[in-house]
Structure 1
Amino acid sequence: MFSSSRTQRTNDSFSKHRASKSKKQRTSFRAPSSSSNRRYEEAAAEQLQHAQQQQQAAAAQVSPSLVSAIVTLCIGREQRLFAAHEDVLSHSPYLAALCRSQFFETTRRIDLPDDEPEIFSSVLEYLYKGDYYPRLEYDKRRHSWQLEDGTSEVRQGTVESTLFVNGVGVVVLKDTVIYCTAEKYGLPELQRLALRKQGLQSGIQCSTILTSARYAYAHTPDDDSKLRAHYLALIIRSRHTFKRSGTMQVEMEAGGKLFFDLFVAMVNHMDDLAGVKSPY
């Protein structure tokens, strides 16, 4: 009887010990599994990120813009020299045609004596980076776009918005010249960018607006409905200032299609205010 009781206690103790050991084994097996999974996931994420970085670096090394031929460009009356990759220049149909004409030349050189070096520099910056100085910046606080160093309150007035154009001998808004150059080069996206930037400019003198408007009319096709319309709307919005401008009087006496379009636009504007359908 004693022996049986002792045997039973021994078996019970052994069963409890085995159950406890089994439980510990199960517990110790599950915990490392979760930790190991996290480590594996982190290691896989790091490997994926490293692989993506290597892939991007490799793509950059074989980018056509970095291995294509270098073309020398001589710009303006000053004959300022620029160098650019042929594949980058080929984004412009106009420049691509000039590059093809130099295909069999030992020295790849393009002369553009009628272009402005400062403007070509901006075009080249756009072709490489997708924008030109001053670049567009988004103001998260105001939820609006601004020009770096230009429309910012802290850096207002540090950007030169005008350019003396040697070809016509007048001061013109830089973005207008870029727009017209983009028209010539066949770069519609650059045209839209230049127009958007010009719309952010403020405090422009009446004389500069008028000379820029004349330049725009002289260097855009008759069916241009963006830059020309921009100037017509700008003059109409500032009509009270222009009415007192001696420069405006002189310019109107000189005439031109600009002022006929302005007359039509003014009539349409007045008709819209009066709720009358314009015949124009």
Structure 2
Amino acid sequence: MFSRRFEMAQQNKSFSKSHHKLGRSNSSFSKEAGISKRRHESRSRRPGISADTESSYADNSISAIVTLVIGQEQRIFAAHENVLRLSPFFQAVLQNQMMDSQNKKISLPDEEPEIFSSVLEYLYKGDYYPRLIHNKKRNSWELDQSVEDSRPESTIYHQGVDGELLKDTVIYCAAEKYGLEELKRVALRKQGLQSGIQASTILASARYAYANTPDTDSKLRAHYLALIIRSRSTFKRSGTMQLEMFNGGSQLFFDLFVALCNHVDDISSASNTPRTPRSGRPF
């Protein structure tokens, strides 16, 4: 049943457009990200879950099935109740709603089916496609592409946004909503490992991240600030960036201004610091 559900989810792949690659200064979105060909090593335990909790949820055969109606198209998903309860969000929903034990249903009309499919995949498998692997030789995180002739989509169309968004950013925000801290860490590591992303998509995703994370978020927001600074030569030429800043309406651009000021101050401070010659004698 689980496999059938994900076969259905795969039929709803996001449409892809051809992307223009960012400049070489954007190392996060370059070919040098190093996509690995190694197969994903299966985990014996889902990340962030204790051994006791893992064993208590191991036998899904005794767990009720919950039907989930997702998105405006009302796509149907099914999941074991004990798996959904790993999320504080669903734990509260299942406790507070009066549900028939034989006919449990949750409706999430504002969720994207493709994103929810990845959330469910994480709850069952500890990761979502494409898998995240660690390259020990390069000491870097990479995306697994062991499945030949299968290029994972890096962006999705979102019903509430005009244009494309980076999939990993939307998953991070969904993990924030569902209280899945480990999924947030996985999605954060995957940010920037895809290549060929348009500047307009990055800006739209940054705005989405600000709109769907609390002001206390210091990780995903910081990722976008650092990314824009690293790629400043590209964004300086971007008419999209000029239009975004003109329209405003987001905390993003004030944070970006502060980050750029700090960046300039760091460079200025480093250039003004007296250098001591190797002999140890002052200039």
| SS at 2:187 equivalent | helix
Residues 28-67 of structure 1 aligned to structure 2 (within 5 Å): 63-67=58-62
1:99 aligns with 2:94: yes
* 2:208 counterpart (203, 215, 222): 215
SS at match of 2:66: strand
Structure 1 residue 204 displacement after superposition = 1.6
Secondary structure in structure 2 of the residue aligned to 1:63? coil
One-letter amino acid of the counterpart of residue 258, structure 1: L
State percent identity of aligned pairs. Answer: 66
User: Which of 82, 85, 96 is equivalent to 1:90?
Assistant: 85
Matched, 1:133 2:129: yes
Aligned equivalents of 2:57 and 2:156: distance in 1? 38
Deviations along 1:86-141, one digit per CA (max 9) or x if unpaired, are 11000101011112234542510000000000000000000000000000123355
Q: Does 1:121 align with 2:114?
A: no
- What secondary structure, in the 3-state scheme, does the structure 1 residue paired with 2:110 have? coil
Q: Which residue of 2 aligns with 1:230?
A: 223
| Structure 2 match to 1:176 | 169
Is residue 2:257 matched to residue 1:257? no
Question: Which one has more relative contact order, counting CA pairs under 8 Å at least 6 apart?
Answer: 2
CA contact (8 A) 1:102 1:108 kept: no
Distance 1:176 1:137 in 2: 18
Q: Distance in 1 between matches of 2:181 and 2:221?
A: 15
Larger radius of gyration: 1
Q: What is the aligned partner in structure 2 of residue 112 from structure 1?
A: 108
SS of the counterpart of 1:124?
A: helix
In 1, Cα distance between equivalents of 2:114 and 2:175: 14
User: d(CA) in 2 for partners of 1:224 and 1:114?
Assistant: 22
Which of 183, 186, 207 does residue 179 from structure 2 map onto?
Answer: 186
Partner of 1:32: none
Query: Higher helix share goes to which structure?
Result: 1
Deviation at 1:155, TM superposition (A): 6.5
Please state whether the residue corresponding to 2:214 is helix, strand or coil: coil
Whole-Å separation in 2 of the counterparts to 1:179 and 1:191: 5
Structure 1 unaligned spans of 5+: 1-58
SS of equivalent to 1:111: strand
Q: Deviations over 1:231-277 (max 9, x none)?
A: 0000000000100011110011011211111000000000011118x
Deviation larger for 125-134 or 98-107: 98-107
What SS does the corresponding residue of 1:275 show, helix, strand or coil?
helix
Q: How far does the alpha carbon of each residue in 1:156-213 deviate from its partner, in whole angstroms, 9 at most, with x for none? A: 9811000100122321000000000000000111001001011323332100100000
Measured after TM superposition, the shift of residue 60 of structure 1 is: 7.9
Unaligned runs of 5+ in 2: 1-53, 271-283
Partners of 2:208 and 2:92 in 1: CA distance: 26
Q: What is the CA–CA distance in structure 2 between the aligned matches of 1:134 and 1:108, rounded to whole Å?
A: 31
Structure 1 CA distance for aligned equivalents of residues 196 and 123 of structure 2: 29
Distance 2:111 2:135 in 1: 34
Aligned residue pairs, count: 215
The SS at the match of 2:193 is coil
TM-score normalised according to structure 1 size: 0.71
**What TM-score, normalized by structure 2, do the two folds share?**
0.71
CA contact (8 A) 2:57 2:82 kept: no
Shift of 1:82: 0.6
Other-structure match for 1:50: none
Match of 1:148 among 144, 147, 159: 144
The yes-or-no answer on 1:273 pairing with 2:267 is: yes
Q: Is the 8 A contact 1:102 1:109 kept in 2?
A: no
CA contact (8 A) 2:119 2:171 kept: yes
